[in-house]
Structure 1
Amino acid sequence: MRPVTARAPIARTRPGPYAVTAEFYDILQAAEDERLVHDLYGREVAKARLGVLDIGAGTGRVTLMSLAESRVGVHAVEPARAMRTSLMTRLAALPARQRERVTVHPHTLDEAALRAVADVAVCHNAVACLPPAARRALWPAIGAALVPGGSLFLQLPPARLPARSVERVLPEQRVGEHTYGGHMVMSAAGDRIRTRVDYWVRGAEGVLREPTETFWMWPASRSRMIDDLALHGFVPSPGHDDPGFLAVTLRSPW
């Protein structure tokens, strides 16, 4: 008789961040986000003469806008595999000459260790989702990736915890015989903001799927962000007064 051996437990891979949202983001939110990205950053990206750094590229709204508005190389930093897969699929559909201007980095910016590759950096819809330690690691990494005099444009996190739950319904979109939709709820949870998004797919026979995903955000005031960035050589840029948007410039060392 053969000896009985214990079977090793089967390792179950946990889904990475945005594993659910990556499927729904473009169809439900990308059109609105594309307009916002162009309005906030388009003119600034067009001034780039060395390179554009897209921090937290997601499915590629800022990356594609940067390719259209500038003629420089673009560095797209996206550590989440689910979002990066959508980004790479979108880049694969571009003409070869445009695609050759994009480098995709599958790491956080501090892990990517980029040095003086850009004179314009954009961090859109990303800073709020970074825990304080990761946020602190981001500022010197941006300073290293930019040349002196380079500019950073970022979408600010919420300034404070919400006093009560905030709900938002994402407009439904039709894809063939199916309708896609979503419902978002933001609420305070300790020192963080819990954002739960419930998605749905409906067909003629009713609801087909109802996946959900939860995100965490860490609030920080505009003044706190300016103070933190100042420790790494950044000063506010004049002429930008959008309350949800911050523009800073990396001082020259001399």
Structure 2
Amino acid sequence: MTPLDLAPDDYAVTAEFYDVLQAEQDAARVRHLYGRDVAAARVGVLDIGAGTGRVTEMSLRESRAGVHAVEPSRAMRAPLMTRLAALPSALRQRVTVHPHALDEAALREVADVAVCHNTVACLAPDARRALWPALAGALVPGGSLVLQLPPSRLPDTDVVRLFAPQRIGEHAYGGHMVMSAVRGRVRTRCHYWVRGSEGLLREHTETFWMWPATRAGLLRDLIGHGFVPLPSRTDPEILAVSLGPPLRPG
């Protein structure tokens, strides 16, 4: 998760484990969800809440446009920059990393496609409201925004997600995530562990917060900033809009 309004040292724990435990699944998912959109980009791609760079790298490989990766978390930027450094120089030359929240980056008409993956859920209401005008400024007229929707409501009971253990050398890495309703928010508590032949070597816990929002509510806010809805996607977690009438191919 990559909320845009956190202090730079947040995600210090998760940054170590995120790619290890979710890399293969995430790479396939972002290509499925957004690959067609970024392939159509002609002006640029804006990756909002880039995290460790799965959408950023996919955008570089699937399009020929420049990519702007927005990631204010210092901990998450470390694996992001490492990922980018390992790419061929021709790809690296097309990406710019912005170490600020989007409303602080002051980007103007740099992209015709924006992707907001695994991010909106982690924005408090004030930060979420600040995102929409910043997005409208960063997109060219007719540009599109594709975002992953947050939960529409609080969970009735605790929701547990297990991370399949992954082995690196002599050590196994694993963990789980628990989502709970707490005073109108969703508390997401991630527990990670590392085991070797002698047993448990390390364990860490990190907590994040999420704010529910309905599709209708988000769409209403976006319309208020000049966006119009695009046809529904097959994945119900995705909302697609454009800044005014969509751009025509060509």
- Is this a same-fold pair by TM over 0.5? yes
Distance 1:214 1:155 in 2: 21
Match of residue 196 from structure 2: 203
- Residue 60 (structure 1) aligned to one of 53, 68, 71: 53
Distance 1:145 1:216 in 2: 27
Task: Please give the secondary structure, in 2, of the residue aligned with 1:210.
Answer: strand
Higher relative CO (CA 8 A, sep ≥ 6), structure 1 or 2?
Answer: 2
One-letter identity of the residue aligned with 2:161: R
One-letter identity of the residue aligned with 2:84: L
Percent identical residues: 71
> Gaps (5+ residues) in structure 2?
1-6, 246-250
- Residue 104 (structure 2) aligned to one of 93, 111, 124: 111
Checking the alignment, whether the CA contact within 8 Å between 2:35 and 2:62 is kept in structure 1 is yes
Q: Rg: which structure is higher?
A: 1
Aligned-residue offset at 1:239: 4.5
Task: Please give the secondary structure, in 1, of the residue aligned with 2:193.
Answer: strand
Deviations 1:11-38 (A, max 9, x none): xxx9811110000000101211111100
Match of residue 129 from structure 1: 122
Deviations 1:57-104 (A, max 9, x none): 000000000000000100000000011011001111111111000000
Distance 1:202 1:65, change over 3 A: same
CA RMSD of aligned residues (A): 1.1
> Gaps (5+ residues) in structure 1?
1-13
Distance 2:129 2:10 in 1: 20
- Residue 101 (structure 1) aligned to one of 74, 87, 94: 94
Aligned residues: 239
Aligned-residue offset at 1:238: 1.5
Aligned-residue offset at 1:125: 0.3
Distance 1:118 1:130 in 2: 22
Distance 2:203 2:235 in 1: 36
User: TM-score scaled by structure 2?
Assistant: 0.94
Following TM superposition, where does structure 1 have runs of at least 4 consecutive aligned residues deviating by more than 6 angstroms? none
User: TM-score scaled by structure 1?
Assistant: 0.92
Task: Please give the secondary structure, in 1, of the residue aligned with 2:75.
Answer: helix
